[in-house]
Structures are given as structure tokens and as C-alpha cells.
Structure 1
Amino acid sequence: MTNNSKATFGQLLKLWRKKASLSQQQLALTAGTTPRHLSFIETGRSRPGRSIVLRLGQALDLPLRNRNALLVAAGFAPSFPERDLQDELTQPYFRAVKSILEHHEPNPGAAFNSLGAIVLANRPFRKMFPECLKLSPEQAVDTFFSPGPYRDRMENWAEVAWAWIDRQHHEVARTDNVELARLVERALDHMIDVERPEPSEGGPEVIGPRFRVGDRVITTFFTVMKIESALEIALSELRIELLFPLDVASAEFFQNLG
């Protein structure tokens, strides 16, 4: 769901063009039309055809969910389906994600949907975060950001928490996702008295969680994978996060965990 679900096509188009910092001339050139035609479309003087709506969505690099919203606002049926990941048509891709997570063992890895709910996790991830697997996105935010075991066992919790908020702010701006925006606000409610850490000289090249386990600190970083060129919404929004050890001692910890 987006903030602008009741806007007209011209209003939506102008909104996304402004967000992309594109002039009418720049967008028209990329979408294969003229600035005059684009101006008429934005003001409602001209009704766009389905083809130009799709080209504009692609030129703006909009997420598939937002391209569907453009089509609906222009009076057309959505073009991009949204299926369950267990659907017969999405199963081959879901199996590929499962294979990636299994081959990543003994290191933890999980796949998340657009709101941060866990869709699939490998065994090491389930061992490290067993209580997170069945949480709603709201519960997951409260669990991670509230004082408690998660904050206590992560040495650089504030750094990781602010990095998550920054990333999700960018995603909200990119997608205009109302539910995700609410989750970010929910997280910020927990951060009122938490200062943003200053980058330190000689600090890590990549922000990654540092876990306290007994008298040891397990240092990690993570990478993110996405399915490129997806034409189905759930697949296009899937985010695969793979955690890696940063040193030999941390690698040995994950070997023993597995």
C-alpha cells in the first residue's frame, strides 16, 4: 500500500518524477515520448495509453507494486502479478533461494519480505535467532529495538540499529510504502535517547553486527542478494541476507554452531 493510492495518474507521475529529480524533458527522452506530451499527461489534458504508462514506470525505475499503481490510476488493469511464494509458478525461484541459504551454512542466512518478515531461514540463523522466526514485522521491530537480550548481546547495537533505520528510510522514499514507514516510525520511538555513533578513525570498512557470546565477540558482516529482472511482486521484493564471519575465531564459532 502506498501513501498516494487515491492520487490521479498525473499527480502520481509528477510525484515520482520529482522524487527522481528529473525534468519533463529528461523523463520524456528516457520514456520515448515528447516533453509536450508528458506535460499534457501530468496536467490531465491527455489520457495516456497503457504502453506509455509502462514505459514511464520503467524509465522512473519504479518498484513493480508502484508500476501497478500507475496503471490503475490511468484506468488500466495491473500488469505485474503478486503470488504466494509457494505458488507453482514461483516455486523454482523459491527453491533457488532455499538452496542459496543451505549452501551458505554453517553461516547464518535468511530471506525477508518487503516489511522485514522472515520468509525462509537456514539452520544456523534459526539457532541464533529462534524467537524471531514467527514474529510479525511489528513484533520484530519491538524485539530488536527495545531494551533486552538483543541489545545486550550485540556490542555495536546502536550502530547497527541506525544503519537499519537509514536503509529503511531510503526504501520508504523509493517505494512510498505506508506500512514500512510505520515500522520505521515505530523503531524511531525506541531511539529517542539513543545517540547516533560517530564514525571512528580506523573503524571497520563495513557496518556489521558484533555479537557477545560468553567472553568472546563474534565479528560479522552481511551481504544482500535480490532477484534481478523479476516481473512478479513478491519475488522482486525478496531480500536475501547472508551473514559472514570477519575473522578466524568467528568462523570457528559458526562451524561449531552448525
Structure 2
Amino acid sequence: MSSAERVVESFGDRLRDWRERRRCTQLDLSLATGVSTRHLSFLETGRSRPSRDMVLTLADALDVPLRERNRLLTAAGFAPSYGHRPLQAPELSAVRQAVDTVLRGHLPNPALAVDGRWNLVDMNAAVAVLVDGVAAHLLEPPANVYRATLHPDGIAPRIRNLDEVAHHLLGRLRREVELSGDKALADLLAEVERYPTVRALPRHLDVPAEVVLPVRLRHPAGELAFFTTMTTFGTPVDVTVAELAIETFFPFDATTAARLRELVPA
């Protein structure tokens, strides 16, 4: 059983799970927080109950995601500290505006926003270049970027260097599963690993010669090559905002840049 699949319910179980997930001993955590190893042991076994401040101190030291900090607080008998508002909530209007500004400002290059489970939240018009030919069922809300990319009916058949790209994407998703403890992400990973396109991947690959790994995409207008960057919010205190990310695609070469200017209306 992977660490993402462990069932943990009590605060002590959750604390131990996060400490082990971070490969942190009780002594390590004690030195980081000033809490004695004896007290940490009592917390993990349920012999002691933490205060609210103690829960947040330990969660901060273990770099627990905001969603899971709320679960730690609930397991300890406290109300959640971090809001989890829908993106359309009035309080997140400035966040929505920031996302929209980035997406529109990145044209004619593709850009999209995703939540913490890689579900599509928003995109600009240039993303149509990427998903041209993708089966409609993969684009129905909530469309998932990993499904749309790696599914046999998705972008995968059009990616010339699929072996390298898929290995990179799967490695990133595995790291996120381990770091986040999110069962939904673990389920997504298990799903995409069953795709024929993924099961056919070679076990080992040579390191690419480029400085960044390009995605080389077949397109009726000719091959398009991209590299991407990820942008997140720097000081989130809401779960939705903390899990929101913007992936921006940049032309890997001048030919791709010129073709995008032709394909995407200004």
C-alpha cells in the first residue's frame, strides 16, 4: 500500500502519517518545533491532545498543504482554519481577475489554469491548438489535463516525443501524490498508469540534450514545439487559491512562434 492510500483517521495517525511522508523522525520534528519527543510520541499514540496552536505549528513544520491542515484540525477536534471558497465566490474576484489577465496576456501562446487535481479551471483561446482532435468526452467538464494528455483518445497520439513527455508528467504526478497525500490524485495516477499509451512506455530513457524538455506536437500546420512554466499564488490562505496553478506554454523555436501567430487570432 502506498503512503497516499493509507487510511488515517485520528489526529495521532494523521500526524504520524505526515511525519513519515516527509521522512522526518520524531527527533527531527522536535528540533524543528521545540516540542519534546516525549510529547510528540504521546500525541501520535493519543495519550495527549494537542492545542489548536500545536496542530498548526506541527503542520507548518511538516509543510502540510492547507486542505490537509484543515483535516488535521478537524481530527484534533477543532474547526478548520483555512477557507475553501469556490472560485466564483465574490471574495476571490481579484484572484479570478489575475488569472484572466495572465491567460489573455499570454496570447497567441496557450495558457491554462488548473486546480490541485489537474482539473481545467480556465484557458485562453490558444489552447484549442493543443486539443485539436481530442475526443469530446475528454473535454467535458470537469476536463482533466492528465486524462486529456495521456489518454489514447487525447493528445498523446500527436506528441512526437511521447516517451519523454509522459515520463516527465508521470514523475511530476507521483511526486505530487507523495507530497500532498491527496487520494483523488492517487486515484488519477492509478487511472493514467492503466492507459495503453502509458503501459507501452519504455522503463528507462536517456536524458534529453535540451536545456528544457520540449513537447513536440503534430499539427496540420506543421510541428509545434513548446516548453512550459507553472505559476502559483505566493501567499495563499484559502485552499482553492493554494491549489490553483497556471501553466503557460512558450514556443520552443521561432517556427512555432510564427505558426501560433497565424493560427491564433489576435
> How high is the TM-score relative to the length of structure 2?
0.88
Gaps of 5+ in 1: none
Aligned partner of 1:230 in structure 2 is: 236
- Within 5 Å, which residues of 2 pair with 1:41-52? 41-52=43-54
Gap change, CA 1:136 and 1:222, over 3 Å in 2: same
> How high is the TM-score relative to the length of structure 1?
0.90
Gaps of 5+ in 2: none
Aligned partner of 1:182 in structure 2 is: 187
Q: CA RMSD in A?
A: 2.1
CA contact (8 A) 1:159 1:196 kept: no
Does the residue aligned with 2:229 lie in a helix, a strand or coil? strand
CA contact (8 A) 2:177 2:186 kept: yes
Aligned partner of 2:206 in structure 1 is: 199
Matches of 2:236 and 2:175, distance apart in 1: 21
Point out 4+ residue stretches in structure 1 off by more than 6 angstroms: none
Matches of 2:80 and 2:221, distance apart in 1: 55
- Within 5 Å, which residues of 2 pair with 1:1-258? 3=5, 6-129=8-131, 131=136, 133-137=139-143, 141-148=146-153, 150-190=155-195, 191-196=198-203, 198-200=205-207, 203-214=209-220, 216-258=222-264
Matches of 1:234 and 1:5, distance apart in 2: 24
Q: How far did 1:184 drift?
A: 0.8
Q: How far did 1:72 drift?
A: 0.9
Q: How far did 1:149 drift?
A: 6.0
CA contact (8 A) 1:17 1:23 kept: yes
Gap change, CA 1:33 and 1:197, over 3 Å in 2: closer
Q: How far did 1:160 drift?
A: 1.4
CA contact (8 A) 2:8 2:17 kept: no
Matches of 1:65 and 1:146, distance apart in 2: 28
State the percentage of identical aligned residues.
33
CA contact (8 A) 1:28 1:35 kept: yes
CA contact (8 A) 1:162 1:196 kept: no
Tell me how many residue pairs correspond in the alignment.
255
Q: How far did 1:152 drift?
A: 2.7
CA contact (8 A) 2:214 2:252 kept: no
